Amino acid sequence: MPRVRVHNFTVTVDGFGAGVGQRLEAPFGDGVDGLHDWMFAAMEDKANGKGGIDAGRVGAWEEGIGATIMGRNMFGPVRGPWRDDSWKGWWGDNPPYHHDVFVHTHHPREAFAMEGGTTFHFTDEPVEAVLERALEAAGGQDVIIAGGAATIQQYLRAGLIDELNIVVAPLLAGAGERLFDNVTEAMRNYQVTEMVSSPAATHVRLQRR
Amino acid sequence: MPRVRVHNFTVTVDGFGAGVGQRLEAPFGDGVDGLHDWMFAAMEDKANGKGGIDAGRVGAWEEGIGATIMGRNMFGPVRGPWRDDSWKGWWGDNPPYHHDVFVHTHHPREAFAMEGGTTFHFTDEPVEAVLERALEAAGGQDVIIAGGAATIQQYLRAGLIDELNIVVAPLLAGAGERLFDNVTEAMRNYQVTEMVSSPAATHVRLQRR
């Protein structure tokens, strides 16, 4: 059975996946500088053949994955109606997904394909329907819920996520978007099955009971 | 200079230091069973001369400490006015403090001494005044802010805590009392200086910048 997974979603010690004021110049908002430092260092270590706690986990988001789902704020800084079709995501001409990516938005626009096999689809359907499309597109492989926090919460509340791999960075934000808000009931269905730290990151795995 | 410290304050992965429904039969409320398992195991390891990440840290709350401050809910399950003076704390005849303990409460009662040198004082003074009394009582040693979350938040907002050593247990509560609520501004004054995990607990040290 294909699984629905979250990987590398990084929060501060006080629980925030993004600070306040997310915008073009600060995609994750203010007060969270360095949130993904562990990830860049781990990717470099992995590329150089080095092992370690972070390097061993950082690539899991692209292993056995056939489709990705994300919220609109993760796709870009534009809020409200699209002014035009010029925004193509944060990731340049060749995004790192190489498969179908479904973007939740109240302002649908036409799908478009990028270099390297990534196609962005825009939808205002409910999470169940979007996941069904993603599983179909994934052709038997797993599906990633990439984020942000609000999108992960929606899928948690609907009971659709099998496994969350979150990362705690040694930072404090004070304010912003909390991963574990609005999921009181949903959390009863999960248990922590792994917790391990490097100096740069604590990895916590949550699995459905 | 004596320092103001927090040690062993334990939260779930989703950030709760206590669940809902704190009461006599469930001092930490519901949904947080096992929150302090790491601590009991570490104390046993320490008593048996075993080392390790948890055993090496679990005793810090009693080293170099001359006074303790806590909130009323940490002292006991009684809410509102004291019905009588029968409640003497959760810790039996010989509490593990062995020094002056200051309990914040809107319902002062007379101080009383227990076996082993612990004296409980009750006060509705502001945090600054209580800390001053605690520092005086500590006679040059450090002061612990023991908890709960609301009490720690008050001292954080007042900028009075030098060092917080918190522990994340591999549990999810879904709801309850969050440590890092109502401290948006205060968090800017702290940085994470250590993060290390055993399978049972992640230890995070926050120090004032």
Our CA-based measurement puts residue B132 at a distance from the nearest CA of chain A, in whole angstroms, of 27
End-to-end Cα spacing for chain B: 16
Cα–Cα distance between A170 and A35 in angstroms, integer? 8
pLDDT in tens, chain B (209 residues): 999 999 999 999 999 999 999 999 999 999 999 999 999 999 999 999 999 999 999 999 999 999 999 999 999 998 999 999 999 999 999 999 999 999 999 998 999 999 999 999 999 999 999 999 999 999 999 999 999 999 999 999 999 999 999 999 999 999 999 999 999 999 999 999 999 999 999 999 999 99
Q: Report whether A156 contacts A26 (CB < 8 A).
A: no
Q: What is B4-20+29-76+94-208's CATH topology?
A: Dihydrofolate Reductase, subunit A (3.40.430)
Count Cβ atoms within 10 A of the Cβ of residue A45 and give its class: 0-12 exposed, 13-18 middle, 19 or more buried: middle
Which of A35, A187, A206 to mutate against chain B (most B CBs within 10 Å)?
A: A187
**CA B33 to chain CA mean position, Å:** 18
Q: Do B172 and A185 touch (CB under 8 A)?
A: no
**E-strand stretches of B57-189:** 65-71, 100-104, 112-113, 119-123, 142-147, 163-169, 177-178
The radius of gyration of chain B's CA atoms, rounded to the nearest angstrom, is 16
Mean pLDDT rounded to a whole number for chain A:
96
Question: Which two tokens mark A65?
Answer: 């994955």
Q: Do A192 and B186 touch (CB under 8 A)?
A: no
From chain B, pick out residues whose CB is under 8 angstroms from the CB of A201: 195
User: pLDDT digit string (tens) for A159-201?
Assistant: 999 999 999 999 999 999 999 999 999 999 999 999 999 999 9
Q: Do B187 and A173 touch (CB under 8 A)?
A: yes
User: pLDDT digit string (tens) for B139-179?
Assistant: 999 999 999 999 999 999 999 999 999 999 999 999 999 99
Alpha helices, H only, A53-124: 72-75
Cα–Cα distance between B195 and B177 in angstroms, integer? 22
**E-strand stretches of chain B:** 4-12, 16-18, 65-71, 100-104, 112-113, 119-123, 142-147, 163-169, 177-178, 190-197, 202-208
Instruction: Indicate left, alpha or beta for A93 from its phi (over 0: left) and psi (-120 to 50: alpha).
Output: alpha
Nearest CB to B172; choose among A13, A192, A202: A192
Q: What is A1-7+57-77+93-159's CATH topology?
A: Dihydrofolate Reductase, subunit A (3.40.430)
Quick check: B53 contacting A, CB < 8 Å? no
Quick check: B184 contacting A, CB < 8 Å? yes
Ordered by start, the domain boundaries in chain B are 4-20+29-76+94-208
Mean pLDDT rounded to a whole number for chain B:
96
Per-position b or e across A114-128, b if 16+ CB within 10 A of its CB: beeebbbbbbeeebe
Q: In sequence order, what are the residues at sequence separation of 6 or more whose Cβ sits closer than 8 angstroms to the Cβ of residue B115?
A: B93, B94
User: pLDDT digit string (tens) for A16-65?
Assistant: 999 999 999 999 999 999 999 999 999 999 999 999 999 999 999 999 99
ipTM of the complex: 0.94
From chain B, pick out residues whose CB is under 8 angstroms from the CB of A163: none
Amino acid at A201: A
pLDDT value of residue A50:
94
Quick check: A182 contacting B, CB < 8 Å? no
User: pLDDT digit string (tens) for A85-130?
Assistant: 999 999 999 999 999 999 999 998 999 999 999 999 999 999 999 9
